[in-house]
Structure 1
Amino acid sequence: MLGFVLRRLLATIAVLIMVAVVVFSILRFSPGDPAIIMAGDGATPERIEQIRQTMGLDQPLLKQFFIWGGNLLQGDMGTSLMSGVPVRELIGQRLEPSLSLAVITLIFTLIIAIPLGVLAAWRRGKLLDRAVMGFSVLGFSVPVFVTGYLLIWAFAIKLGWFNVQGYTPLAQGFGPTCTV
């Protein structure tokens, strides 16, 4: 058992390193010079070189990778080249809507999927089991964006339960709807 866990841990570490190499390569070898993008139009060559040194782009590629990886492990994801805002802040701004969706999904799973799975297992081979299995296969077969559009159409447009545009916090948006 211990050997299995150790093999899994080593495999996980290897996969994380490979993902880090791929992400770094995509970021580093994408078109355009990050220093020129950050400097903006009309920047002097001296200013561009100063930014290049500040960002560590003048270092060898392997050293850049280890600096980037070390910063990432410490939670420093750098600064967005487009907005100049720290990436951590950009992620933080979008964390609440993402967590809201995750909580709603978890609630639906607990309320609908688990009881249906238990009923299907209880009535194995019967009509209910086949119906639940068919619905599950259909749910996995249909692309997520199609399912999303259908759910938006049903619950936001037809039933009017949700706002179609923008983001309304869960406490403000869904609570009043449930009480009606």
Structure 2
Amino acid sequence: MACQICGKKSGFYPLCKECNKLKEEGKVTKCQECGIWKKGDKPLCYECWLKNKKTSGTNSEVETEETNFRNKFPAKLRAEDGHLVRSRAEQMIDNWLYHKGIVHAYERRVPIEEEVYCDFFVPIGQKVWIEFWGIEEEEKYQRRKELKKSFYKKHDKNLIELMPKDIENLDDIMPIKLRPFLPSTFSFD
């Protein structure tokens, strides 16, 4: 398993020895809401703080589409790490991340003002958001895709995009796409 803070190998533990020492010093804490380890002493990680922040009550176009999409395609497939996902392709991506020991979350809210959810979030190294664009023929889906991509760019979020053709080649594609964002000590073995 990789350390949730720095990405170094941590055996069967969520934190490596160095980050565990930081935890004992109060410099690394667990989010009280989602349970992910984070730097700092605040009770919530940024994503949970943003989720709990009071909003004006109006939904943007992407928020409405996110809700509609999530209701239209409920997560019913179980990945090997226990995550419930929406498609066989997402199940394959989740299983690949799990087998490579890459800490990840499924359908995590992106920490921006708009209510946008990514397919996968990798919190180690430089945080990275992974989107699988599985529906290529629907115009509404393409608009949503372009809008989400613009949010990632506007807020300087690291985005990895996967297409249906990538799914059969995850062992070749994912290391290349993930390598720039993971700690240099991370090994895909």
- Higher helix proportion, which one? 1
TM-score, length of structure 1 as denominator length? 0.22
Q: Which has the higher contact order (CA 8 A, sep 6+)?
A: 2
Q: Max radius of gyration: which structure? A: 1
TM-score, length of structure 2 as denominator length? 0.22
- Higher strand proportion, which one? 2
